[in-house]
Structures are given as C-alpha cells and as structure tokens.
Amino acid sequence: MRDAYHDDLDAVSATLVSMAAMVDNAIVRASKALLESDRALAEEVIAADAAIDTVQHELDNRTVDLMARQAPVASDLRVLVTSLRMSADLERMGDLAAHIAKAARMRFPACAIPVELQMTILEMSRVASDLVNKTALVIRDRDIEGALQVDRDDDQMDRLHRQLFITLLDPAWPHGIETAIDVTLIGRYYERFADHAVSVARRLYYSVTGEFAAPKN
Amino acid sequence: MRDAYHDDLDAVSATLVSMAAMVDNAIVRASKALLESDRALAEEVIAADAAIDTVQHELDNRTVDLMARQAPVASDLRVLVTSLRMSADLERMGDLAAHIAKAARMRFPACAIPVELQMTILEMSRVASDLVNKTALVIRDRDIEGALQVDRDDDQMDRLHRQLFITLLDPAWPHGIETAIDVTLIGRYYERFADHAVSVARRLYYSVTGEFAAPKN
C-alpha cells in the first residue's frame, strides 16, 4: 500500500513525463514549421514555450515543498534532487525547440534550410523526437537499460551533425554566408536538444541506482 | 555566534565563489589562446575543465548531504536548492570556455578569428570575464543590487554579438564559409557564457529574497 508521500513522488515523475511530451510536441512542430516554412505554426511553438516554463516552475515548487515537508533522506532525496535537474533539462529543450521555430519565422516566407540539407534536418528532427520519447518512457518506467540506450542513440545525432558541416564546407556550397550561419545555429540547437535528452536519461539512471552511468566513450 | 550548520552553508557559498574564479580563469585563458593562436594554452584550458567538474561534483554532494542531515526548511532550503542550480550554471560556463579553447586548437597554427573581428572577440571576452567576476562578488556578498546590475551588463554582450553578425554578413566578407562557421559558434559560446552568468546572478537574487528578479525587458 502506498502512502500519500509516495503518491506525491509518483506525481512528480508523471509531471516529468508530461513535460517530455510537451517538449516532443514542440520539436516536432518547430521542425515542421522550419522545413515547410510555416509561419503560423512557428508562432504557435514560440507561444507554447511559456506553458513548458510554467509546468517546470510549478513542478519545482512542488518538489522543493516535498523536500521541506518530508525531509527525505537517501534514495527519496536523490529522486527529488534529480527531478529538479531533469525539469531544468526539459525546460531548456523547450527553449531550443522555440529557437528553431524563431529561425523559421525569421526567414519566412523563404525556407531557412536549402533543399539539399532538408533531408538531413528532417532526420535530425526525427532523432530528436525519438530521443525525447524514449526518455519519457525511461522516466515513466525508471528503466535503466533504456537510459543507456538513449545515450547510445545520440550517436546518430552526432553523425547527422557532422554531415551538415560536410555539406556546408563543400567548395561548391552555393547559398552564401547567411544560410551557412542559419544552418550552423540550427544544427547546434538540434545537437544540444539531443545532449539534454541524454542528460535526462543519465540522471534517471543515477536516480534509480545512485551510480553514474559510465560515459559512452 | 554561528553554529556548525551555518558554517557549512557559508562554505557552500565560498565554494561557489571559487568555482566562479576558476571559470573566469578558463574564459580569460581560452580567449587568449584563441586570439593569439596559442595551442599549449588551449590544451591547458581544456585539461583544466575536469577540475571545475570535480569541484561541482563535490560541492553538490556536500549540498545534498546537508539537505539530508539538516532537513532545512524555508530560506535555508532555498539557499541549498539554489546552490545546486548555480553550480550547474558555473560548470556549463567552464564547458563553454573549453569549447572556445577547442576552436583555437582546431585551427592552430592559424587563428580562428580573422583580424577585423579580433577586437570584437576581445571585447566579448572582457565582458564575459567582467560578468563572471561581478557574479562572484554577488554570491560572496549576497548582493541583490549587484545581481540586477549583472543582468543589465549582459546588454553589452548582446550588442557585441549583433556586431559579429553584421561583419559576417557584409557582402565583402572575404573569409569564406569555414571561418564564418567558426565565428558563429564561438560567438554563440560567449553569448551563452554570459547568459549563464546572468542566470547565476538571478538565482542569487532569488536565494536571498525568495522572489524572482523582474526580466530586464
């Protein structure tokens, strides 16, 4: 039988899972706005970021309130401290999705991504969405094997990111400096998004085991 | 008269101040390595980042240990939770300084920054160092007025960052795509470094007052 305190801990975890779903929604729609040059959708993603911030704020207040009321020690304290860190990662992922939406808006009605890079960016957006979805399941199921898998899956993002630079640095690159700057920054946003997903998964691993997952390299 | 617990809280604050000094050292030396194309210095900065990570790790362990042993409530708990967040910001600032050192190393023996942008980068490095130094004093003195000033001073970094893009986007830019990518990423690292300094200062404001500083815009 669970007591009210452990119900509260479960609710913290459930809120992290729903934050991850909001962040997934943001990255999927920001990517669509970017690749389809959809200004209205970009505006929606930018406006929706405030809701993620609000959820984080309320979650952190609840988490600190639990610390104050319950004076947890050992593993319960570890879960709460880790929750604060995971919510910060997820909030930042929302910011990065909003940055991608802002890049889409800035170049409207043109597309910030030239046609020969659209497939790479589409793949980056799919990897990003996949990582955050897997991270949500890792949190929900306190799945330490899944956490290690998220870490390994991030290699795909690194590969796509390198591919982006190979295209940019081709001597035949015809799109000029402004587009190169856009692509560089957008690539960086996807890469950082993935890094934060990995960070959330690694924190979950620590939350469950009290040990740090070994670095993948 | 102070008790042992409040001595421990003071020690947490003192460690944050010394982390800020390590981070200042990192950004100053990374910038020198970048502008003077000094590979040995770049290597030193990259190697020294592990020491910042170690200090953060030990500090966070001590902070969580204080939470467990003392079961703080209200303002003492706020101070400890905020300390975890400030140490995460400072650790990230160390990473960003190391990224700048890696950019220097990658282009050695050439300089990643063309001569017409060196003054702007030098100014960005000075603003970055100034922000982290002021932030250290804000932490040491629990200075909420100083915290608001750090927030305002960040405008200088935003101005320099815009100036960088104006130069990159000049139709007469003669340095090609690779240099534009380097400058874009390096500019981003300085901007993010400053954002994290502002974040530390704002967290200190919250730690002291229990209120969030109003956004500057």
ipTM of the complex: 0.94
CB contact under 8 A, A173 and B177: yes
CB contact under 8 A, A177 and B173: yes
Backbone angles phi, psi at A121, to 5 degrees: -65, -40
Whole-angstrom Cα distance, residue B139 to residue A150? 36
* List of residues 6+ apart from A8 with CB closer than 8 A: A62, A66
**Number of Cβ atoms within 10 Å of the Cβ of A95:** 17
| Residue A124 contacts residue A195 (beta carbons within 8 Å) | no
Whole-angstrom Cα distance, residue B11 to residue B18? 10
Which of A51, A13, A31, A83 lies closest to A194 in space, CA to CA?
A: A31
Nearest to B188 among A67, A173, A188 (CB): A188
Does the pLDDT of residue B213 top 90, yes or no?
A: no
Residue type present at position B152: R
What is the pLDDT at residue A216? 62
**Number of Cβ atoms within 10 Å of the Cβ of A74:** 9
| Residue A34 contacts residue A104 (beta carbons within 8 Å) | yes
Does the pLDDT of residue B212 top 80, yes or no?
A: yes
What is the pLDDT at residue B216? 62
Q: What percent of chain B has pLDDT over 90?
A: 91
Whole-angstrom Cα distance, residue B178 to residue A73? 52
Q: Which two tokens stand for residue A52?
A: 């993620």
First vs last C-alpha separation in chain B: 42
DSSP category for residue A213? P
What is the pLDDT at residue A86? 98
Average pLDDT, chain B: 95
CB contact under 8 A, A67 and B88: no
Q: Where do we find the tokens 């910030």? A: A112
Number of residue pairs across A and B with CB atoms under 8 Å?
A: 59
* Helical H segments across B36-73, by residue range: 39-70
Does the pLDDT of residue B105 top 90, yes or no?
A: yes
Contacts of A180 in chain B (CB under 8 A): 177, 180-181, 184
Taking the CA of residue B180 and the nearest CA in chain A, the distance in Å comes to 7
Per-residue pLDDT of chain A (217 residues; tens, 9 = 90+): 468 888 999 999 999 999 999 999 999 999 999 999 999 999 999 999 999 999 999 999 999 999 999 999 889 999 999 999 999 999 999 999 999 999 999 999 999 999 999 999 999 999 999 999 999 999 999 999 999 999 999 999 999 999 999 999 998 899 999 999 999 999 999 999 999 999 999 999 999 999 988 766 5
Which of A89, A88, A77 lies closest to A210 in space, CA to CA?
A: A77
**A150: Cα within 13 Å, side-chain hemisphere:** 31
Q: Which two tokens stand for residue B160?
A: 């320099």
DSSP category for residue A214? P
> Could you give the C-alpha distances from A80 to A51, A136, B30, in angstroms and in order?
22, 17, 36
Chain A residues 20-79 with CB within 8 Å of chain B: 64, 67-68, 71-74, 77-78
Contacts of A177 in chain B (CB under 8 A): 168-169, 173, 177, 180
What is the pLDDT at residue A3? 85
What is the pLDDT at residue A213? 85
Candidate from B27-41, B61-75, B89-103 with smallest mean pLDDT:
B61-75
Q: What is the distance, to the nearest Å, from the Cα of residue A128 to the centroid of all Cα atoms in its chain?
A: 7
Q: Which two tokens stand for residue B157?
A: 């970094």
Maximum separation of any 2 CA atoms in chain A, in Å = 67
Nearest to B71 among A71, A181, A188 (CB): A71
Mutate to test the interface with A, among B181, B183, B200, B207 (most CBs of A within 10 A): B181
In A, minimum Cα distance to B168 occurs at A177
Q: Is the pTM of the predicted complex or chain greater than 0.90?
A: yes
CB contact under 8 A, B165 and A181: yes
Contacts of B54 in chain A (CB under 8 A): none
Contacts of A91 in chain B (CB under 8 A): none
| Residue B58 contacts residue B210 (beta carbons within 8 Å) | no
Q: Where do we find the tokens 């980042």? A: B49
* List of residues 6+ apart from A180 with CB closer than 8 A: A168, A173, B177, B180, B181, B184
Which domains, ranges and CATH numbers included, belong to chain B? 4-209 (1.20.58.220)
Contacts of A72 in chain B (CB under 8 A): 68
DSSP category for residue B169? T
Q: What is the distance, to the nearest Å, from the Cα of residue A25 to the centroid of all Cα atoms in its chain?
A: 10
* List of residues 6+ apart from B126 with CB closer than 8 A: none
In A, minimum Cα distance to B61 occurs at A78
CB contact under 8 A, B185 and A181: no
What is the pLDDT at residue A145? 97
Q: What percent of chain B has pLDDT over 70?
A: 98
Nearest to B169 among A173, A177, A184 (CB): A177
Angle between helices A4-36 and A39-70 (to 10 degrees): 160
* Helical H segments across chain B, by residue range: 4-35, 39-70, 74-107, 115-141, 144-168, 176-209
Q: Is B212 on the interface with A (CB under 8 A)?
A: no
Maximum separation of any 2 CA atoms in chain B, in Å = 67
What is the pLDDT at residue A214? 75
If you average pLDDT over residues B107-132, what whole number do you get?
Answer: 96
Whole-angstrom Cα distance, residue B18 to residue B51? 12
Nearest to B73 among A68, A72, A173 (CB): A68
Q: Is A148 on the interface with B (CB under 8 A)?
A: no
Contacts of A71 in chain B (CB under 8 A): 71
Q: Nearest 10 degrees: CA dihedral of A158, A163, A169, A174?
A: -130
In B, minimum Cα distance to A57 occurs at B212
Q: How confident is the model at residue B215 (pLDDT cuts 50, 70, 90)?
A: low
Whole-angstrom Cα distance, residue A201 to residue A23? 15
Taking the CA of residue A75 and the nearest CA in chain B, the distance in Å comes to 10
CB contact under 8 A, B88 and A88: yes
